[in-house]
Structures are given as structure tokens and as C-alpha cells.
A and B are shown apart, each in its own frame.
Chain A
């Protein structure tokens, strides 16, 4: 759709500068990611090679095998060389048996050299290739099912959450939500899963405020949504969380089990979960490479910046985070259509012009990332027990979504902050969305904020504050000589949290790669490029 002029008339030089600064901030961190590995990256690699299952105490075999190799030869060479060397030496007939023997200390590992090393690496590449091909097949299956059932007929896609804790309760709820109009089902994880340094195993029926992410739960839910997609004649997407200490493993499982979207933010774990920054960036790069190859759309978590700080004062931190997320994602091979960059309607409704500012912020994101399926998230911070007021606020949230052409709309519940949504709450929420979209989505054609008016001025102000903050980040430094972004994270540049590169959970699972580091998964992922003619399911009718 052609437009007489860009809606916000942002200065292209400022936009270019913002992206250049984001690239500059990201570069040294990417270098760290490329020169380190983690226990979770190595475990994900073994999962790709087909190792699954757990012992009677539910400790996964990948954890046993990585620990054993690490204790004997270290993590810095990559685990696959010693593991496949042991298999070639006849220590065990397969990975599972090898892991079982390793768990009881009945096998020893070595770092092979010469022809043994070459043979081990070749075998490892073959083994891990099986998982990568599974991911490729899942992507092809998704494309085929979308062709057969079709995409949702209108934008934004409607995103609904289920979270009972019991996968067998989640399934009928998810199917009901899809029948009521949800295009995307997100299964919220159990509280605290992000801090577990292992992925639970099997179908689970007990969770706290959410359901554990496991390979079997992924498989069960995807199969259930395939059934309902067929029934509805519309491909219903499934979302879960690749965050926390097991980000790479969850990403690998999601790729193999054909999940469609994953929450995957570049700094969320560091800032809000106190996970070590290096661990996070290393794990994140691997997980994003997997998502890129799997054709998964990532969702980033910028809403969190607004719920922990004032949504007006912190508006530019959302833009900075989006730019960094975009940079890290592009570097890892993700394409624009895979970037569900987040933002949220969290300005205090009591302050004057709050709606105008929400419009300005949402338009800014839309203009900065015209080809990304932005994820628009509903009010939570200013939702109270007054459900009637909450319903109105959600209506205004939907209106901003309609007027600014958002790609993914997380449906707001009037009972947010009160109860787990009732069946009726979900129905009322969807009526709200449908009414606003029917009544007002055409406004994208009519709505042109006046030149240098309130909205244009506010958007430019937020962008310029974002550029200032990025500028401060790339010039930050600390005594340890860390990468500027790490120094900035350490001294509390982002919100109230100071997260030094030497602190936080999971640091002991990080190793610097040795010169002979070998990991067939990272080798293949580094070499991978997206298929030339990528299907653009998420092309926006974006106002430009």
C-alpha cells in the first residue's frame, strides 16, 4: 500500500544511527558467544543426536553424559568428539547406553587425536545431522500444513494463553481457545522452570502456575493443535519459552517437535532472572540459530521493561531492547518475518494523553521494524480488581493494535491480576478484540498523525532517547575491560538491576572454546543460510 509520506517522518539518518549503534554494541558480545560453549549448548547437541530420556530420579541422560565428559576431559573441546570416540571404541552400542554407563562411572572418556579424532568427528557430524534433518523436516511439514489449512485470514494474529499445570487439561482448553478464535496458543511454563539446569522429561501433570516445557508435552500439544487446525481449516500455531538456563535445549526440542513460536529475549534472563550474562548470550545465539533454521518466529520480552519501570520514562528502553534483539537475531540468521519484537500497553491510564503516547510508541515500533510481526501485549500493571475498567482499557489496547497494524496481539483479560481467566473472561476478551478489529482496523488507511504534531514529536523524542542510551552503552566500560554492553548491564544501565558478567546463575556451566573445539551442530548452524525464497506468512499490511 502506498502512502503519501511516512507516518512519523522519522529522520532516516537517526534510524540508521540507531541500528549502527545496536550493531556496535552487539558485536563484541557475539564474539564472546562464538568463542564459548555451555553445558546447555552441549546437551542440546546431544539431544539433536537423538539422546533423550532420564534416570529413575528424572535426571536426563544428556545431563549425565555432559557431566561425565566434562569431569574427565573438560567442556572446552566440545562433548561430541569424546562421546563419539567412546562409541567408536566400543564402550557402548548407542548414546543412551553410553550415558547410563557414564552415570555409574563405568566408562572413561578421552580426547582422541589424529585419525581417531577425525573418525569421531565424522561420526558425530552424522549423528547430530539426524536431529538437524528432523528440524528441517518439521519446517517443511509446517509449510505444507499452512498451505493445506491456510493462515488466519486477518491480522493481527490472536494469541491466547493456557496454563493449567497439567498437559492433559491444557489440551482441551487449547482446542477450545482455537475454536473460539485463537490463532496462536501459548502454554505458559511452570514458575521457576527457567532456573532449572535440566529439561524435565515426559508428560507432566503438575506445575506451578504453568506447565513444564518437555519434549513429550510439546509433542502432545502440537498433535492436538494439528487436529483442531484440520477441523477449523486454519493452521493454529503453538508457542512456548526458550529462555532460562536450558534455552538451547528447549530450542532444539521445539525445532524437532514443530513448535511455531518461541519466547526468546536477548537480555530477559540476565535482568529479570539473574542468569549470568555470558551464559545467556552464548545460549541465546545457539538457540536463535536453531530457531532460524526451524522457521520459528521468536517473541521478545520488552513488556518486562515497562512493568518494572514507568512506561513513559522507560519507553526508549523498549526501543533499545528491540534494536538489540533485532541485531542479535539477524546475526544468528533469523529473518525479519521471524522477529516478533515485543512492546506493551502499560502507561498509567491516569496520566493525561496516555492513549496518544501509547499510539506514538506503537507506531514508532511499527515504523522502525516494518517487516517484523510485532507482538503487542496488553495492560497488566494498571489492571486492578475493577474488571469493568479493565475491559475498557483492553478495548483501547485493542484499538492501538488495530490502528498501528500489529502482527501478533496477546489478548488482554479483564480479570488480569484477579484470577486465572474464567472461560467467560476469554470469550468476552475475544468479543472485545473482534469488535475493535471489525470496527476500526480500516483506520490504518485514514490515520495520519499530523506533521510535527503530538504523536510525531513524541515518537521522535523516544527514538532520540533510545539513540542516546545506545550511545552510552557502546561507550560504557568497566575495570575488567568487559565488552561495553556487558559493562552497561553490570552497572545498572537497564532498569534497576546490576548484573555483573562474573555473577548470576549458570556461570559455572560456561567454558571458553579451545582451538580444537568441535561441535557439528554449531558448525552446521554457522554455515546455514535461509532458503532463498522464504515464505512470507507474516507480511504485514504495515503502514509505512
Chain B
């Protein structure tokens, strides 16, 4: 047997033992326990041992099952897609920025056009954050300027220049008549016009309806979609700043 075939390890090599817990929408009786064992067998546990069953209200039963899985894992056949940039903790991102810039990274954020939905930009920037992650305001080495909603593009450009922004984050939730696309292209064009070539801040746009891979068409550096967390954005900014620093200007 190849050394690259593995099975789960309980207390003996090759025993294949796993533990599993789940709930079935059945009242607790013999039939429910049989149903749990049937599920375990279909999941490849043989033999399966029902070690715990408990009624949760009149309609549900909770089970804990132990069993030996019949499946094998071929380690040679495992393929993983590496993220193009590493996901950093807030602490690591701070350290990286400090080393890279020897000053704080300046991020200017806004909702542009008529869009009044600051949910996205606030989830990324507000210290409250999103999905259990603190927003960029929480990062010691990041200065956040959140301009809020309905910011005009010229005002955004002026403020970005005044704050010497390293990155500009724009959120677009409203998508009627492709407003998000028009607003974004208008924004990126304004930045290219206002800054010397090669010195435009990192332009990041976020929203639920942007097409993946359309960065070039929109004139921005990065698009983030639904469910993006502040940590992902911070990690990306660190990655992109590192790339830019390394690039001969």
C-alpha cells in the first residue's frame, strides 16, 4: 500500500475512526435511531456506532455517531488552490505596513453617486467590522477616512489628494441601469486624470454585483464581492503596496 494513502486515526493506525454529530427532523424513537445509522452507513461509516441520541423538542433528535470510514484518502491526489496573497492577521498587517512604509497607510473610503448604502463600506471600515472581524479603523497602522454616502467624484479625488491616500475604497450597492459600472469608470478616470501616471492610489471597488475579472474594464485595481471581510481587504492592500514598492518607478 502506498505511503500516500491515509485513513483517519482514532487510536490505532488504519482504524479509520471518525466522530460525527447531526440532527434529524424526527421524533426520538427506535426508527429515528435506525435512520441515523442508515445515514452514517451511507456516509461511509461501517461499522457505525450510535453512542448518543437525545430528543430536542417533539420533532427533532440529536445524534452522536462513531464509526470506521470505508473511504481512503490519496494524498497525491490532493490539489489546493493557493490564494494569490496571504491572509494576514491585523497584527501581521500592521507589522508589514510599518516595515514597508515606516508610516501609516492611508485609506479613503466612500459611496459615490446617488448610492446611500454605506453598509458595505462601513462593514469594511468601521471598527465594528463584519463577520467577527474588526474593520480597518481597528488597524493601528491604517488611517481611515470614511467620507460616507453620496460623495461626488471630484470631492473624493480632492480628499484623496489632501489625505495623501495610498488606497481608495469605493462601495456601490445600487445597480439600477448599471449605475455601479458608470460611477466606477467615472471615478477611475477622474483619478487617472488628477494624478501623474503610476502614482494613482490603489483603487478598490466593492459591491454585490460587480463582474468578476472586470477590473481592467472598470479601471480599478481590485474588485471585492459579497461577503468580503476587512481582513481580506487589509491583506490585499499590504500585498499590493508591497508589489508597487518593488516595482521600479
Contact = CB atoms under 8 A, between A and B. Distances in A.
Interface of A: 176, 179-180, 191-192, 195, 208, 271-274, 304, 307-308, 380, 417, 422-424, 427-428, 495-497, 505
A308 B119 contact: no
Given A195-B119, A424-B62, A427-B56, A308 B127 contact: yes
Contacts of B21: 424
A272 B140 CA distance: 16
A370 to B, nearest CB: 32
Interface string B123-137: 100111010101001
Given A195-B119, A208-B119, A424-B62, A179 B126 contact: no
A423 B56 contact: yes
B119 A496 contact: no
A272 B130 contact: no
Contact of A427 (B62, B126, B138, B146): B62
A180 B58 CA distance: 11
Contacts of A505: 148
Interface string B1-40: 0000000000000000000011100000000000000000
18 contacts: A192-B119, A192-B122, A195-B119, A272-B126, A273-B128, A274-B122, A274-B126, A304-B128, A307-B134, A308-B138, A417-B132, A423-B60, A424-B62, A427-B56, A495-B127, A496-B127, A496-B140, A497-B137
A424 B126 contact: no
B137 A496 contact: yes
Contacts of B60: 423
Interface residues of B, number: 24
A272 B118 contact: no
A376 B23 CA distance: 29
Contacts of A191: 119, 123, 130
A304 B127 CA distance: 10
B57 interface: yes
A423 B127 CA distance: 30
Contact of A422 (B23, B128, B132): B23
A308 B134 contact: yes
Interface string B200-231: 00000000000000000000000000000000
Interface in B152-189: none
Contacts of B122: 192, 195, 273-274
Interface in B37-82: 54, 56-57, 60, 62
B23 A424 contact: yes
Contacts of B130: 191
A503 to B, nearest CB: 10
Given A417-B132, A496-B140, A505-B148, A180 B126 contact: no
Nearest to B148: A505
B183 to A, nearest CB: 20
A272 B128 contact: yes
A497 B60 CA distance: 46
A492 to B, nearest CB: 11
Contact of A424 (B56, B117, B123, B134): B56
A67 to B, nearest CB: 15
Given A424-B23, A496-B137, 14 more contacts: A176-B57, A180-B56, A191-B119, A192-B118, A192-B122, A195-B122, A272-B126, A272-B127, A272-B128, A273-B122, A273-B128, A274-B122, A417-B132, A497-B137
Contacts of A423: 23, 56, 60
Contacts of A424: 21-23, 56, 62
Nearest to B54: A427
A424 B1 CA distance: 40
B57 A179 contact: yes
Contacts of A273: 122, 126, 128
Nearest to A271: B127
Contacts of A195: 118-119, 122
B56 A496 contact: no
Nearest to A430: B56
Nearest to A272: B128
Contacts of B132: 380, 417
Contacts of B118: 192, 195
A385 to B, nearest CB: 12
A423 B130 CA distance: 23
Contacts of A417: 132
Nearest to A504: B148
A271 B146 CA distance: 14
4 A-B pairs closest in CB distance: A192-B119, A272-B128, A427-B56, A424-B62
A176 B55 CA distance: 13
A206 to B, nearest CB: 13
Contacts of A380: 132
A469 B218 CA distance: 49
Given A271-B127, A273-B128, A417-B132, A180 B148 contact: no
Contacts of A497: 127, 137
Contacts of A496: 127, 137-138, 140
Nearest to A304: B128
A162 to B, nearest CB: 15
Nearest to A268: B128
B145 to A, nearest CB: 11
Nearest to B59: A176
Contacts of B117: 192
A137 to B, nearest CB: 34
Nearest to A418: B132
B90 to A, nearest CB: 11
Residue with the highest number of chain A CB atoms closer than 10 Å, among B23, B56, B123, B140: B56
Contact of A180 (B57, B62, B128, B134): B57
Contacts of B148: 505
A98 B126 CA distance: 39
A505 B21 CA distance: 46
A481 to B, nearest CB: 25
Contacts of A272: 126-128
A179 B148 CA distance: 43
A497 B136 CA distance: 11
